[in-house]
Amino acid sequence: MMKGLGASEGYGIGRVLLISEKNLEYTPKEVADTEAEIMRFRASIDKFTKDTLAQAEAVRASVGPKEAAILEGHISIIDDPFMRGEIENLINAHQCAESAVEQMCQMFIDMFMASGDELTMQRAADVRDVRDSVLSILLGVNEVKISDAPEGTVLVVKELTPSMTAGIKKDNIVGIITETGSQTSHSAILARAMEIPAVLSVPNALAQLSTSEQVIVDGFTGDVITAPSAEVIEEYSAKRETYLREKRELELYRGKPTVSASGETYELCCNIGTPKDAGKAMEKDGEGVGLFRTEFLFMDRSTLPTEDEQFDAYKTAAVVLKGKPLIIRTLDIGGDKEIPYLGLEKEENPFMGFRAIRYCLKNRDMFKSQIKAILRASAFGDVRIMFPLITAVEELREGKALVEEAKSDLRASGIDFNENIPVGVMTETSASGVIADLLAKEADFFSIGTNDLTGYTMACDRGNSNVGYLYSPFQPSVLRLIKSIIENGVKAGIPVGMCGEAAANPMMVPLLMSFGLTEFSVSAVSVLKVRKTIAKWTKAEADEVTAKVMAMTTEKEITDYLKTVV
Ligand code: PEP
Ligand code: MG
């Protein structure tokens, strides 16, 4: 077995086709007739442009517009006036076209690779792709015909380039193995866009595999199984069938409302960390954003983001959501989320220390600038504010008072915002669960953060393997708190959602439906799965299961039982 990085999910069972690199060797020579050489270079660019446009058209039809745009971007690399000008200068200095093209492309490749930035480094791969295509034309080397690959082919390449994808017929290529690439590389993006299982970064794959040998590609684990026995092939064929069936079934839930089998409707939102994720949430059919973790805007930099920078980020997400709800959680730092430039003191007990709302209420200027940025974004969508780690009613009151202060500042400056912006509480501490009735009177909504609620209630750090066995939202104590939070919210007439990981757990879903939860907020990839799970249950069935669960004594009893009903 060989091991790589599972970068595009699914199982591919097929026969290897090695795509070795083209032989682009040449002997650099001095040219006397520089004008003729420039004409030869220009003709090669014309052919490259024509070929690439045709490839882009094919990719647009078979894969999608974004992938076609990558190819069109290749034309602008070689068409860049500086690039073309310098290549022609080198030819005028009597270098041959091959050598001039290679030299200039190498300069850009070195520059991009030196940046250390993953995205910029990806551009080096594009320049390499362009260089090889233009050199092939100049040298008259024929492209390898991936389009001729027979059905059931597993492509093995050093790197999957955008120009290769033009030749890929989705029905024939069942898997891809590359020697380079990461989760965010073009190879990964292209493989995922084509929905072909792919394992990247398999060292020496080309040398280790031979054309026509049988392999299995596991795009989940990154395993490449060589010389599989009949038994293993059967096992993976069954896995593949189940995966494809479930995928087809999930697609049936796209574009549909989130409704139980007995007709109750729920809101199914996504958790995001950046404005870009808002687009992903929409792509995955989320009905809004139930948790925007704003700390990512504060991380990986050396100073606080300004109010304007934050406004841009929140507004971008609001605009992408087109009027769908966007719950923005104010800064939740401390605990496991460090922001070095804030200079927080090292504490004995960081999870119980000076963090989240506690820190923000003591750093009012910083907090107010975040609240103003959120308020300003509220003019562009259904934006809501949520405070993390609330443990006492005073914290909510103080936070709300600051929202009022921020509103009057904006009013005085004539800046638009939603006067009635809802302000909610993230119920993620045991204290907030116990006083949910008191908080519900003063909050506009609740969202249950089970990740922290479980840890605080069980007095256990999930990162500590000695006590990890206690960390479960199915502990009777945690379930009782969840129930109480939801019931108190319902009694006070405010919406209650859940944005902790437990919201996507199929065993938790019937309990939440029975308790009266109205909104689920999950990672974008879980949207369709959760919609399907909700659709499976009637309210009466969920109530019956929940009554049994709530009468049980131990976590094991509860999870053993729930496993039998999901
Ligand atoms: C939670 O605590 O459940 C939660 C969603 O917030 P975070 O994971 O960001 O602490
Ligand atoms: Mg939390």
Q: How many Å lie between the centroid of ligand 1 and the Cα of residue 427?
A: 10
Q: How many Å lie between the centroid of ligand 1 and the Cα of residue 475?
A: 18
447 lines ligand 1 (CB under 6 A): no
pLDDT score for 41:
95
Q: Which CATH code fits 260-537?
A: 3.20.20.60
Mutate to test the pocket of ligand 1, among 432, 446, 451, 522 (most ligand atoms within 8 A of CB): 451
499 belongs to the catalytic site: yes
The residue assigned the tokens 């790197």 is 159
Are 55 and 243 in contact, with CB atoms under 8 Å apart?
A: no
499 lines ligand 1 (CB under 6 A): yes
Fold assignment, 34-139: Enzyme I; Chain A, domain 2 (1.10.274)
Q: Where are the domains of the chain?
A: 2-18+145-250, 34-139, 260-537
6 lines ligand 1 (CB under 6 A): no
Are 301 and 398 in contact, with CB atoms under 8 Å apart?
A: no
Mutate to test the pocket of ligand 1, among 499, 522, 526 (most ligand atoms within 8 A of CB): 499
pLDDT score for 535:
97
Residue closest via CA to ligand 1's atom 4 equals 449
Residue closest via CA to ligand 1's atom 8 equals 451
Q: How many Å lie between the centroid of ligand 2 and the Cα of residue 410?
A: 30
* One-letter amino acid for residue 428 of the chain: E
Beta sheet of 198-200, edge-to-edge order = 2-3, 223-226, 214-218, 11-19, 153-157, 173-178, 198-200, 5-8
Same fold, 2-18+145-250 and 34-139: no
Q: Per DSSP, which regions of 380-505 are E strands?
A: 382-387, 423-427, 446-448, 496-498
pLDDT score for 192:
85
Output the DSSP codes for 159-183. S--HHHHTT--TTTEEEEEESS--T
Angle between helices 539-550 and 555-565 (to 10 degrees): 160
Which residues, in sequence order, are CB contacts of 112 under 8 Å at separation 6+?
Answer: 120, 121, 123, 124, 127
Domain at 2-18+145-250, CATH from 3.40.920.10, 3.40.50.720, 3.50.30.10, 3.40.640.10: 3.50.30.10
Q: What is the mean pLDDT of each run of 10 residues along the chain (566 residues)?
A: 94 93 87 94 93 85 81 90 94 96 94 83 88 91 79 93 82 94 80 90 93 95 96 97 93 97 98 92 96 90 94 98 98 84 87 94 97 98 98 98 98 98 98 98 98 95 83 97 98 98 96 98 93 98 98 98 96
Q: How many Å lie between the centroid of ligand 1 and the Cα of residue 304?
A: 22
Which residues, in sequence order, are CB contacts of 133 under 8 Å at separation 6+?
Answer: 48, 51, 52, 74, 163
Question: How many CB atoms are closer than 10 A to CB 254?
Answer: 11
452 lines ligand 1 (CB under 6 A): yes
96 belongs to the catalytic site: no
pLDDT score for 211:
87
Radius of gyration over every alpha carbon of the chain, rounded to an integer in angstroms:
28
Q: Per DSSP, which regions of 262-344 are E strands?
A: 265-272, 289-293, 325-329
Please tell me whether the overall predicted TM-score, pTM, comes out greater than 0.85 for this model: no
Are 531 and 258 in contact, with CB atoms under 8 Å apart?
A: yes
CA distance 549 to 512: 12
pLDDT score for 143:
63
